[in-house]
Amino acid sequence: MHVSAIIAAGGRGSRFGSAQPKQLVELAGIPILKRTVDAFLQGYPFDEVIVALPEELAVNPPSYLDDVMVVTGGARRQDSVANAFREVAPSSQVIVVHDAARPLVTAALIERTVNAAYQHGAAIAALQARDTVKRGDASRIIRGTLPREEIFLAQTPQAFRVGVLRDALALASTASDATDEAMLAEQAGHHVHLVDGDPRNLKITTPEDLVLAETALQHHPRPARTGRAGIGYDLHRLVEGRPLILGGITIPADRGALGHSDADVICHAITDAVLGAASLGDIGRHFPDNDPRWKDASSLDLLRRAVAMLADEGLQVGNVDVTVILERPKIKDHVDAIRAALADALGVGVDRVSVKGKTNEGVDAVGRGEAIAAHAIALVRSR
């Protein structure tokens, strides 16, 4: 799944009362905008991050925006988002829109919003009202009590399938009262799903909000969020009378790999990489070749079991890259099927699985066609 992020930072924050744009004001020594962008670059593995800035900043953006795409914002929020939307990659499937003024957003909140949007078409983070909600008039007279179980306070991120956001932004020029993209999506006839927001994900609008954010950072500092990499390797002899199975796909061949299970070197190498990234040992520790339970077992199933072990540790796969070393047959015609099978087992999009075939140029047992090997690397991250 190709996921893009748009960070709306095109305003100037006049209500904040600062001589400089609000997004450049420092929060605990770091600019608000940098904190927000870092949360996206270091959290969910976005394929691209686009930041909409005021024109004077867009022509000379801060250096901490070197790893993102910068566009010029517009007079209104929806104009800034529309400008960024025009730069989104054609392959994008889900687009996340987030306010630059919400620097305390967590990776978990981003992820559940993305997942809900992919499933439902559109989703926003929101907090359900806890207090009794009154409706009043201009004279400050109560005119009714609203059922608080039906009241939700919208936050960002807000995420949309590309077609939904396109429909929403098509209304931007005529919807002068729209305060967010979810409202435009509703007006375009789409249902918007609610996911649990985060009380710490406050929007910095006034100097008082900045004080609250600094307090939140002092009591709940964001932990360092870095990926964890693991390397895997596997090798099997090739013999007659065995099927050649790679990534769960049976490849037409006159010989197959010899092993206790189905001897799928791709799955074995990836399984070792995944387990290694999580410091959970190796494939032999969990699926030993002297255990009859794994006799002729599907290595794709063993890979699924390894992914489940990751989940128990609060981790998930980000992406994998594997190189198969085999003299013959060539695997290029089967790569797409292999990637699809692996993606399903890993619980990731096909775009996060890379499979390459190489030969060993006639060197050693692999080069003589007597064996097959695979090298793999996996990146895992917190769920």
**Residue 176 and residue 193 in one domain:** yes
CA dihedral 44, 50, 53, 59 (to 10 degrees): 130
> Cβ distance 251 to 233 under 8 Å?
no
The CATH number of whichever domain residue 260 belongs to comes to 3.30.1330.50
Q: What is the pLDDT of residue 21?
A: 81
Read off the pLDDT of residues 67-78 as tens digits, 9 standing for 90 and up. Answer: 899 999 988 888
Domain final residue, candidates 219, 236, 266: 219
Q: What is the pLDDT of residue 53?
A: 94
**Residue 40 and residue 187 in one domain:** yes
Read off the pLDDT of residues 30-64 as tens digits, 9 standing for 90 and up. Answer: 899 999 999 898 878 899 999 999 999 999 998 88
Position 225 pLDDT exceeds 60: no
**Mean pLDDT value across residues 15-20:** 74
**Residue 57 and residue 87 in one domain:** yes
The CATH number of whichever domain residue 52 belongs to comes to 3.90.550.10
Domain that holds residue 120: 3-219
Q: What is the pLDDT of residue 67?
A: 86
Read off the pLDDT of residues 251-264 as tens digits, 9 standing for 90 and up. Answer: 999 999 999 999 99
**Residue 189 and residue 246 in one domain:** no
Read off the pLDDT of residues 328-347 as tens digits, 9 standing for 90 and up. Answer: 999 999 999 999 999 999 99
Of 107-111, 173-177, 269-273, the range with the highest mean pLDDT is: 269-273
**Residue 209 and residue 232 in one domain:** no
Position 105 pLDDT exceeds 60: yes
**Mean pLDDT value across residues 288-300:** 92
> Cβ distance 67 to 41 under 8 Å?
yes
Position 224 pLDDT exceeds 70: no
> Cβ distance 164 to 122 under 8 Å?
yes
**Residue 159 and residue 243 in one domain:** no
**Mean pLDDT value across residues 268-277:** 96
What does the mean pLDDT of the chain come to? 91
Q: What is the pLDDT of residue 20?
A: 80
**Residue 58 and residue 149 in one domain:** yes
